[in-house]
Structure 1
Amino acid sequence: MLRWFIIITFYILISIYGFQAFRTITRHVWIHYAFIAVAVAVAGNLIIQFAFGSGGRVLIPSKSYAFGFILTYMLFNSVLIFFLFGEDIFRFFVGIHSKYFSTRESFHMPSRRKFISTIAMGVAAIPLASMLYGMYKGKYNYKVIRHTLHFDDLPEAFDGYKITHISDIHSGSFDNRSEVVNGINIIKELKSDVIMFTGDMVNNRSSELLPWKELFSELKADDGVFSILGNHDYGDYMDWDSAAEKEQNFEELIQLQKDMGYDLLLNENRFIERNGQRLAIVGVENWGKGYFKRAGDLSKAADGVKPDDFKILLTHDPSHWDEVVINDDYHYHLTLSGHTHGMQFGIEIPGWFKWSPIKYKYKHWAGVYKEMGQYINVNRGFGYLGFPGRVGIWPEITVIELKKGPKKAIA
């Protein structure tokens, strides 16, 4: 109850403050009432969904949208407050100056200036529109991101080998089948040699995958579809009636992936062979930093892999690469991860600049990085979770081409 009290109190305060901008700009009472109506509707929907809605702690789409709308509303008001609070500080010092350095005997703050509130409203409209677009279209704005990586010790038979890397499907969040079909068709048209999926097929329940099972079963490649588990695939984020029910859910998800034709690696490895040469595909269960599940066992997963094999590691959380993989006795040439979603929010200009608040939690959060002669690609995710949208950091389908030899300099 205390948490709800704090949230509601904060919400009321920023709503009152944001309302001042509307009062300054216009005297039309219907606009004032419209603002109040939106504030009440957004807060009321959140309370109804989370206090009385179904699903418990599970973020079903209706709850995600309730969260998304209140986040959007609060961001809009926060921008207004930034401008209004700055003006209030200025007005306060003007009032102080007026009291002590003029003929006025009482303290008097000048009224708000309309043009400041107008500017604040215009600036606040940018994140408002961006968040609404992110919920409406941005979450399905699939982008194909291509990387060419060079390795001196890549087996000759795999020169030019193409990998499609996807991650974080979160099938329980989808709400538009035609858009997801479009994303699947993009993957199919790439015709890569292999497809690799790095975890979080569902949000919590294996049943979330059932409406999408046949669609994702359409993903095929000459060398197969390899997958691993992410932290959400274990069902750790919801309340179960018993440990047996949770275990059954987990086993059902494993079976569903097998039925889809995915080769699920549970601390295991496989080999892809061509012309007497091979790649080692190593897949670990989730290994997370902090409170995230640690079921990954790199040593067990690499059992039978030789030190001089060319190794591709699938591990959901890039923290595993930071903490364990790059310092392992084995040299893992390429690691594929996901998990961060790029926070589904940020600014990115391809090839030049990228930023998201998630970078302050994860050192490697989106794209390709290289350390100690080893690469990692952190996929931004195919789906979404929590906030039902994406702003600036779009859903990603990665294509990685392996090339033998050093990268050629551009003349």
Structure 2
Amino acid sequence: MKRIVKLFLFIIVIYLFLYINNHWIVTTEHVYESEEVPENFDGFRITQVSDLHDAVFGDNQQNLVKKVQKSNPDVIFITGDVIDSNRYDLEQSLDAVRQFVQIAEVYYVIGNHEVATNKVDEIYNVMEEMGVHVMANSSVTLKREEQSISVAGIEDPLNGHDTQSMLNEALSTVNPENLMILLAHRPEQFTTYVENHIDLVFSGHAHGGQVRIPGIGGLAAPGQGFFPKYTAGTYEGGETVMNVSRGLGNSGFPFRIFNLPEIVVVELKSI
């Protein structure tokens, strides 16, 4: 009887551990401080949502939506893999996005999973109908009075174009005097972002390494293999800072371990 009780308790502990690791959303905050940030954008808050992979966080995604709303964003960046190509359900995937557009302006780039569905045009059309700014190798200018910053976004390379050619297209109309922000799904392309003198990059894709080993980091990431270099947090090279979100959902391996789902908030600070 004692063995049965111990086994039962062990199963409950494992269940709770996995549930928390895969459903407890945390908010990670960073400050990006630079002379390139215009005074009118001092305190400008960017909330990044990445790699939802059709995961569900409460009824009608309320747990996720409340977290994003509480972060008080001026803009929301979605950096790919909103859907999961293994269980494509566009309506469910976009529940949260429909609510995001009521909170702030939303800017979106695709990830490899959108490409893998062969439904990129459908996804783009629905996003645009909701009022999302689709950043398909393009850029926009954000203005506060007479000052401005630039935001560009590139598609995932799986869509058939190399990163450099997509950057050439996206940056072709950017004012070089502006702070340059890039939305790009893949962090393993960091060297290319540095070579193009991007100031601030928002990326995802790595899922935090899926399993995070305390004191070491992520175990594996797509495009980087085992013990990947870019999985979470900020990375600097030249004049470039890259923020990599651990993301929210899973694909392939069904569990995140020591790797809580996260949204990332970056506040711009002028110096």
> How would you bin the TM-score normalised by the shorter chain?
0.7 to 0.9
Q: Secondary structure at the match of 2:140?
A: strand
Q: Secondary structure at the match of 1:218?
A: helix
Query: Which letter maps to 2:189?
Result: H
Following the alignment from structure 1 to structure 2, what is the Cα–Cα distance between the partners of residues 399 and 294?
29
Structure 1 residues 221 and 308: CA distance shift in structure 2, 3 A:
farther
> How far did residue 262 of structure 1 move?
1.4
Q: 1:356 maps to what in 2? A: 218
Taking structure 1 as the reference length, the TM-score comes to 0.58
Unaligned runs of 5+ in 1: 1-27, 35-124, 237-245, 406-411
Structure 1 residues 320 and 294: CA distance shift in structure 2, 3 A:
farther
> How far did residue 307 of structure 1 move?
1.8
Q: 2:175 maps to what in 1? A: 306
Q: Secondary structure at the match of 1:200?
A: coil
Does residue 373 in structure 1 map to residue 239 in structure 2?
A: yes
Query: Which letter maps to 1:163?
Result: I
Pick one of 376, 385, 388 that aligns with 2:251. Answer: 385
Q: 1:210 maps to what in 2? A: 91
Q: Secondary structure at the match of 1:320?
A: helix
Following the alignment from structure 1 to structure 2, what is the Cα–Cα distance between the partners of residues 170 and 191?
24
Which of 1 and 2 has greater Rg?
A: 1
Following the alignment from structure 1 to structure 2, what is the Cα–Cα distance between the partners of residues 393 and 144?
13
Taking structure 2 as the reference length, the TM-score comes to 0.86
Structure 1 residues 181 and 343: CA distance shift in structure 2, 3 A:
same
Q: Secondary structure at the match of 2:157?
A: coil
- 1:159-308 alignment to 2 at 5 Å? 159-171=42-54, 174=55, 177-178=58-59, 180-204=61-85, 208-220=89-101, 224-235=105-116, 246=118, 249-287=119-157, 294=161, 296=163, 297-308=166-177
Structure 1 residues 381 and 209: CA distance shift in structure 2, 3 A:
same
> How far did residue 170 of structure 1 move?
0.7
The count of aligned residue pairs is 262
> How far did residue 183 of structure 1 move?
1.5
> How far did residue 211 of structure 1 move?
2.6
Following the alignment from structure 2 to structure 1, what is the Cα–Cα distance between the partners of residues 170 and 250?
28
Q: Is the 8 A contact 1:287 1:316 kept in 2?
A: no
Task: Give 1 or 2: higher helix fraction.
Answer: 1
Structure ranking higher on relative contact order (CA contacts 8 Å, 6+ apart): 2
Following the alignment from structure 1 to structure 2, what is the Cα–Cα distance between the partners of residues 181 and 315?
26
Following the alignment from structure 1 to structure 2, what is the Cα–Cα distance between the partners of residues 199 and 309?
25
Q: Is the 8 A contact 1:381 1:395 kept in 2?
A: yes
Following the alignment from structure 1 to structure 2, what is the Cα–Cα distance between the partners of residues 226 and 383?
19
Structure 1 residues 175 and 371: CA distance shift in structure 2, 3 A:
closer
> How far did residue 135 of structure 1 move?
3.9
Does residue 318 in structure 1 map to residue 187 in structure 2?
A: yes
Q: 2:263 maps to what in 1? A: 397
Structure 1 residues 199 and 285: CA distance shift in structure 2, 3 A:
same
Unaligned runs of 5+ in 2: none
Following the alignment from structure 2 to structure 1, what is the Cα–Cα distance between the partners of residues 141 and 124?
21
Q: 1:90 maps to what in 2? A: none
Q: Is the 8 A contact 1:313 1:332 kept in 2?
A: yes
> How far did residue 293 of structure 1 move?
6.0
RMSD, aligned α-carbons: 2.9
> How far did residue 355 of structure 1 move?
1.4
Q: Is the 8 A contact 1:194 1:221 kept in 2?
A: no
Q: Is the 8 A contact 2:151 2:181 kept in 1?
A: yes
Q: 1:327 maps to what in 2? A: 195
Please list the CA deviations of residues 241-291 of structure 1 after superposition, one character each: whole Å capped at 9, or x if unmatched.
xxxxx4xx2221111222332111100001100121111000000137xxx
> How far did residue 130 of structure 1 move?
7.5
Q: Percent identity?
A: 27
Q: Is the 8 A contact 2:53 2:93 kept in 1?
A: no
Structure 1 residues 207 and 252: CA distance shift in structure 2, 3 A:
farther
